[in-house]
C-alpha cells in the first residue's frame, strides 16, 4: 500500500488515508448557521474519499467571525445545523473535523467577492473587534480593542463552550486556529503583540494565551479524541514569528496533549514576501515533526499524487492538508488512488465510475 493511502490512528480515531480537507471559508452562512451549501461542499469532499474533512474556520463567538457570512458554533441553532452535516461526512467513512477560530483584528471584513475590506455596521459588520494590541491590520481597517482580563476570560469561555458544542454535534476532531494572522497568532507574533503585561514581550509571555486556549480545549475535548493546532510557522517578515519560535510553541503544545500540528504560514501583517512554489511550506512540517517530536500536516501547493506520496513516504509529514486542489476536484483522492495503482472503496452510487 502506498503511504498516502495508509491508515493513521489518532488516539481512538482511525483515519483511512493521509488526505485532509483543509478549512476553507465559504462565506455562505447566515447568522453563523451552516446550510445546504456547507452540506454539499463538505459532503462532496467526503464522498471524494478524503480521510478528514474539516469545516471552515468556525467562530467561537459572534465577534470572532472573519466576515458576517462565516459559520459559528456559539449557539444552539448553529450546533443543531452542524449535526446532519457531520453525520453525512461520517457516513462516507471520513472523519468530521471542526476548526475553532477567532478572527481578532481581522474580523468584520467582507467576503472576497464583496471586496474583502472592512464592513460597516450598516452592512452587517460589528464593533469592537479584538486583538492582543490596539492597532489596525492595515490602513483603513478598524482599530481593535486590546483584550483586557475580562475579555481574555470571555474568549477562554467561548473556546470551552465551542468545544463542548462541537462534541455534541458529533465532530471527532477539533483544530485550534492559531495561524494566518487571526487572534491567537496575534498574540504569538511580535509584529502584532505589543502588550506590556504577562501576555506580551518574551516568547514565553506571547505563547501564554494561545497555550491557555490549547489547554482549555484539550481538557474539554474527550481524552480519546484528537486535537490539532494550525500555526503559521513564519510571518515571512524580519523580526516576526519564525520557525524557531514555532518549534518552541509546538513542543509546549505537545506537552499539553496536542496530537498534530497543521503547518501553514503568513497572514500576520500585510505585504509579506512569500516565495510561492510547489510544496513551499513542506519544510516547516518536516522541521517541526523532527524538532518538536510530533505529527504534522503539510500544506501549500500540493497538487500531484506523486508529490503527496513522496512527502508522506519520506517522513516529511504525516498528513497532506489540501485546499484549492480539493476545491477544483473534490474527487482528487480517488484520482490519486487510481494514478498510484490503489483501489479505494466508492459509494455504491458512484462505484461504476471507478
Q: Would you name the residues annotated as active-site residues? A: 182
Give every CB contact of residue 119 below 8 A, 6+ residues apart in sequence.
67, 68, 108, 109, 110, 125
> Judging by beta carbons within 10 Å of its beta carbon (0-12, 13-18, 19+), is residue 184 exposed, middle or buried?
buried
- Residue corresponding to grid cell 459559520: 71
Could you give the CA distance from residue 69 to residue 324 in angstroms, rounded to a whole number?
Answer: 20
Could you give the CA distance from residue 124 to residue 158 in angstroms, rounded to a whole number?
Answer: 21
> Judging by beta carbons within 10 Å of its beta carbon (0-12, 13-18, 19+), is residue 81 exposed, middle or buried?
buried
Using the CB atoms, write b or e for 283-305: b if 16+ within 10 Å.
ebbbbbbeebebbbbbbbbbeeb
Amino acid at each position: 500500500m502506498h503511504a498516502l493511502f495508509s491508515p493513521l490512528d489518532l488516539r481512538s480515531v482511525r483515519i483511512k488515508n493521509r488526505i485532509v480537507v483543509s478549512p476553507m471559508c465559504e462565506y455562505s452562512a447566515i447568522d453563523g448557521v451552516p446550510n445546504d451549501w456547507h452540506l454539499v461542499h463538505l459532503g462532496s469532499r467526503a464522498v471524494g474519499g478524503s480521510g478528514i474533512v474539516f469545516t471552515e474556520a468556525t467562530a467561537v463567538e459572534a465577534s470572532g467571525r472573519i466576515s458576517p457570512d462565516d459559520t459559528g458554533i456559539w449557539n444552539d441553532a448553529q450546533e443543531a445545523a452542524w449535526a446532519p452535516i457531520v453525520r453525512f461526512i461520517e457516513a462516507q467513512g471520513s472523519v468530521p473535523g471542526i476548526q475553532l477560530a477567532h478572527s481578532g483584528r481581522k474580523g468584520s471584513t467582507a467576503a472576497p467577492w464583496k471586496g474583502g475590506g472592512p464592513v460597516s455596521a450598516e452592512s452587517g459588520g460589528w464593533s469592537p473587534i479584538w486583538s492582543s494590541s490596539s492597532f489596525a491590520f492595515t490602513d483603513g481597517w478598524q482599530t481593535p480593542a486590546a483584550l483586557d482580563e475580562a475579555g481574555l476570560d470571555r474568549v477562554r469561555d467561548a473556546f470551552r463552550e465551542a468545544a463542548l458544542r462541537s462534541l455534541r454535534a458529533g465532530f471527532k476532531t477539533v483544530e485550534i486556529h492559531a495561524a494566518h494572522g487571526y487572534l491567537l497568532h496575534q498574540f504569538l507574533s511580535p509584529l502584532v503583540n505589543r502588550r506590556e503585561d504577562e501576555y506580551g514581550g518574551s516568547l514565553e509571555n506571547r505563547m501564554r494565551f494561545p497555550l491557555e486556549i490549547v489547554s482549555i480545549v484539550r481538557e474539554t475535548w474527550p481524552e480519546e479524541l484528537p486535537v490539532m493546532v494550525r500555526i503559521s510557522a513564519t510571518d515571512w517578515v524580519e523580526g516576526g514569528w519564525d520557525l524557531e519560535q514555532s518549534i518552541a510553541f509546538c513542543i509546549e503544545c505537545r506537552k499539553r496533549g496536542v496530537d498534530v500540528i497543521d503547518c501553514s504560514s503568513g497572514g500576520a501583517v500585510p505585504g509579506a514576501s512569500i516565495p510561492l512554489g510547489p510544496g513551499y511550506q513542506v519544510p516547516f512540517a518536516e522541521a517541526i515533526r523532527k524538532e518538536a517530536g510530533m505529527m504534522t500536516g503539510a500544506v501549500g501547493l500540493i497538487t500531484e499524487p506523486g508529490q503527496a506520496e513522496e512527502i508522506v513516504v519520506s517522513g516529511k509529514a504525516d498528513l497532506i492538508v489540501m485546499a484549492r486542489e480539493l476545491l477544483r476536484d473534490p474527487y482528487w483522492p480517488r484520482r490519486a488512488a487510481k494514478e498510484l495503482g490503489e483501489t479505494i472503496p466508492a459509494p455504491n452510487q458512484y462505484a461504476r465510475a471507478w
